[in-house]
Amino acid sequence: MTSPKTTPKPIATALAPKPSKPAKASRAVNARAVRGSAPEPEPHTLDRVAFGKRLRAARKQFGWTLAYVAEQSGVSITTISRAERGQLALSYEKFSALGHTLHMDMGAMFAEAGAKTRRLDRPVVTRAGEGVTYRGLAFSYQFLGTQVVGKQMSPILGTVHARSVNGPEDYARHDGEEFVYILVGAVDVHFEDGEVIHLERGDMLYFDSRIGHAYVSVSRQLAKTIGACTSESNLMLSARQGVREVQRAAG
């Protein structure tokens, strides 16, 4: 009994490679496409709503009215109310004043949601891209070392969005001293007395931040900076009082 003959497969078919499995990355892209293309929120960003809730919670903790906080901080009732509702971004001057009035440490004010804060009892590290970003009116602040409270200075990576100074309200004034170093681009730093200091990449400026000041990007790309703002420490306060006493004695 003879076995049935088998028909040989065509060479092209026999040698054809098996279809490869889709890569994981492709499957991930397809999955995102199915779910929708809405961008996910950027990590380590403190939005206006979350920041406003922190301000409101701190005020309510003391049982203070908007009018009382406005009187103590010098920030208007309307501004505080809109900031608490997440309708308004604040400048450094205003959130610094509110933080002082509400006894909110800068680290705690801008700590990432759910992060635990601690005292400076050991070195603190902020890895690249792990700072907490808050978009202000004319400046984006990326606060570094926010997990530590009670710091004598606030280190900040910044992006200068302002392209002009439009009026007295654009000038920031706050206690302490300020240092800024230009990483990218160029800025003009305007002071309320009319002085303008031009800074380019690699330049540094240090000044008394109680003097009204405003940063303006003057390069094609938005300028990026790194800097630090100090608080009015007891040592600084004593030094200022000492200078005034010497001046009065000399007068």
Half-sphere exposure of 52 (CA within 13 A, CB side): 17
3-state SS class at 147: coil
pLDDT attached to residue 172 = 92
Beta bridge partners of 140: 135, 159
Instruction: Check residue 152 and give its pLDDT.
Output: 86
Q: Is the pLDDT of residue 128 over 50?
A: yes
**Sequence spans of domains, the chain:** 152-251
Average pLDDT, the chain: 81
Residue whose pair of structure tokens reads 């049935």 in the numeric block:
4
Residues 6-24, mean pLDDT to the nearest whole number: 45
The mean pLDDT of 48-68, rounded to a whole number, is 95
The predicted structure's pLDDT at residue 42 = 56
Is pLDDT larger for residue 233 or for residue 85? Answer: 85
State residue 29's pLDDT score.
40
- CATH level 2 (architecture), domain 152-251: Sandwich (2.60)
Identify whether the C-beta of residue 229 lies closer than 8 Å to the C-beta of residue 209.
Answer: yes
> What is the separation of C-alpha 217 from the centre of its chain, rounded to a whole number of angstroms?
17
What is the mean predicted confidence (pLDDT) over 212-241?
Answer: 79
pLDDT band at 166 (very low <50, low <70, confident <90, very high): very high
Burial of 227 (0-12, 13-18, 19+ CB in 10 A): buried
